[in-house]
Chain A
Amino acid sequence: KAGVTQTPRYLIKTRGQQVTLSCSPISGHRSVSWYQQTPGQGLQFLFEYFSETQRNKGNFPGRFSGRQFSNSRSEMNVSTLELGDSALYLCASSSSSFGAANTGELFFGEGSRLTVL
């Protein structure tokens, strides 16, 4: 079974630009979560999607957005990039079912490393 695939793996942008990151979950997983990892703030939850609906959201500004497609693939977008957005963006998929309160095991992708200059 293929793992979680994230593209691109590395990218460099300048302040003010926008970026779109892509994530293909493990086949059959309908829950996709996004995390931002930085040395200073650690792993921070961005949002979670399930069956094309945003189910949970973290405390990030509106410049951070995401969506999920009918095939469970997900994208996240960051607009008007700031230097502080430089980070490793991790996508994770889970077999968690809709409405389940018990969080399931997360399978992470390799991440997309974004550098903002």
Chain B
Amino acid sequence: GQQVMQIPQYQHVQEGEDFTTYCNSSTTLSNIQWYKQRPGGHPVFLIQLVKSGEVKKQKRLTFQFGEAKKNSSLHITATQTTDVGTYFCAGPWGLTGGGNKLTFGTGTQLKVEL
């Protein structure tokens, strides 16, 4: 199946440092979503971006959708141990008709050390 690359694949940070993950697409997207999966858990929806150049903030998390709607980023300011997990972007790549067919990115695994 289609894979969407996220970079980096892994990131180890010290608590308090910032973290950014990037999601890149070769095609324009109607929207992009971000999910977080804690170790041993299931993906949990964080946010959906729809507009070109859109920036949304959730406390220490900042999400951005590129002007061309081909890329997106998630930035976490001053990481905490509760931020540990894998962050996935997800979008309707390969969706030709209606419905819910989300393709997930390869994910970025974040580890936070004290």
A-side residues, CB < 8 A to B, are: 31, 33, 35, 41-45, 48, 50, 55-56, 58-59, 90, 92, 94, 96, 98-111
Contact = CB atoms under 8 A, between A and B. Distances in A.
Given A102-B30, A106-B43, A111-B42, A96 B95 contact: no
A103 B43 contact: no
Interface of B is mostly: loop
A110 B42 contact: yes
24 contacts: A31-B99, A31-B100, A41-B1, A42-B3, A42-B107, A43-B43, A43-B88, A44-B104, A45-B1, A45-B101, A55-B99, A56-B97, A94-B100, A98-B98, A101-B30, A101-B97, A102-B50, A102-B92, A103-B91, A103-B102, A105-B48, A106-B33, A106-B43, A106-B90
B31 interface: yes
Given A42-B107, A101-B30, A56 B42 contact: no
